[in-house]
Amino acid sequence: MELFAGIGAWSKALENLQIPHEIVTAVEFDERTINNYNLIHNSNFEASDITKINEKELPDCDIVCYSPPCQAFSLAGKQLGFEDKRGVLFFDALRIIKEKKPKYALMENVKGLTQKKFNAEFKEMLLELEEAGYKNYWRVLNAKDYGIPQNRERVFVISVREDILKDFSFPEKFDSPLRLKHLLENDVDEKYYISEERFKKLLETVKEQIKPAPSGITQVTQPKFSQQRVYSSEGIAPTIAAGNLGGGKEPCKIIQIGLLDMKGNEQVRRVYDPEGLSPTLNTMQGGNRQPKIIVNDTYFDIDNDNLVLSTATEPKRNYKLRIRKLTPKECLR
């Protein structure tokens, strides 16, 4: 059973892990979102309001997965906690858990829920689950430590029914070689690209950062640590060291190139390098807030607006860089 189902990330995770399962019901308030859920999972659920659901009429299940709205505890929200009506929707999930008594209840929420400001609220949640007959295990996990090229910290609460004689331990961290660049589409509509005029100011900054070395290695950024360096594919590869946490030395970090000269807060103006990780994705409020990335477009003849890279093998070759927003498919990936 999936509560606050969204597009079904919990169910997709079970599918990816090849764990046999059946989705007995999915509760999602937004009609467009549940339509997307049905398309992804080949289901036929209707939009429903968890506050109006009769828990006694729901089917029995082994697992309840729930991701209550996070705005009440998020750093990006007003942080009103239980004073926000969205902040108390946890108790509707609890009502269903108490009635259906699943073997396991899995909750996910923003890291902000664990901060000192919401210590009382988080403790109350855990206590209520304990009183309902569950042993809780919780930890803040970052998606980047588990093979997903996105910096996304979330608290997970794994509640195991007391009669299930099994202890739970969270998986060990690992770094796969997967990076944001591996999830990009090959053919992207022109509407996702930032205009050349807006790009010019940032381009000048990027030009200053690119400093070819005598060795022929062309380094695009000048960070403090070697793991954060970004190199041009036109230069010679640097010395390759042993992997870190099972992955390569591509930085398991967000690499921010700079800020666009445009209206809006700093977050929507940031430009990232796809050699690193994606920043945390949010609902984006209908679009136009997707993270922006700098990409290699193609090679051009000499043009003052293009970026000239000088390397040992290619003394003067122009490399066209452009900036674009992530596409909906890329965000979904």
pLDDT, tens only, 244-256: 444 444 566 777 7
Please report where in the chains the tokens 């390397």 appear, as a residue. Answer: 311
pLDDT at 55: 94
**Cα-Cα end-to-end distance for the chain:** 23
pLDDT at 244: 41
pLDDT at 290: 77
Which of 61, 65, 70, 252 is the catalytic position? 70
Beta carbons of 111 and 157 less than 8 angstroms apart = no
Q: Are strands 2-3 and 26-27 parallel, antiparallel or unpaired?
A: parallel
Please report where in the chains the tokens 């954060």 appear, as a residue. Answer: 228
pLDDT at 129: 95
Runs of H (alpha helix) within the chain? 9-16, 31-41, 90-100, 119-131, 196-209, 266-269, 328-332
Distance from C-alpha of 259 to C-alpha of 152, rounded to nearest angstrom: 21
Non-local (6+) Cβ contacts of 209 within 8 A are 220, 221, 222
Closest among 13, 23, 97 to 55, alpha carbons compared: 97
Q: Are strands 256-259 and 292-299 parallel, antiparallel or unpaired?
A: unpaired
For 213-221, the CB contacts below 8 A with 24+ separation are 215/312, 216/311, 216/312, 216/313, 218/309, 218/310, 218/311, 220/273, 221/255, 221/257, 221/273
Distance from C-alpha of 297 to C-alpha of 320, rounded to nearest angstrom: 6
Distance from C-alpha of 171 to C-alpha of 189, rounded to nearest angstrom: 39
Tens digits of residue pLDDT in 28-66: 989 999 999 999 999 999 999 988 999 999 999 999 999
Q: Which residue stretches of the chain have pLDDT < 50?
A: 210-249, 298-317
Within 10 A of 96 (CB to CB), how many other CB atoms are there?
24
pLDDT at 71: 63
Closest among 290, 283, 242 to 269, alpha carbons compared: 290
Tens digits of residue pLDDT in 261-294: 666 666 777 787 777 777 777 665 555 667 888 7
pLDDT at 195: 79
- Dig out the tokens for 123 from the structure: 């403790």
Give the pTM.
0.74
- Residue 65 annotated as catalytic: no
pLDDT at 226: 47
pLDDT at 215: 43
Distance of CA 125 to the CA centre of its chain: 25
Distance from C-alpha of 143 to C-alpha of 154, rounded to nearest angstrom: 8
Distances in Å between the Cα of 246 and the Cα atoms of 174, 231, 234, 242, 274 are 6, 21, 27, 9, 20
DSSP state for residue 146 in the 8-state scheme = B
Q: Helices 31-41 and 9-16, interaxial angle, to 10°?
A: 10
pLDDT at 263: 67
pLDDT at 248: 44
Residue type, 128: E
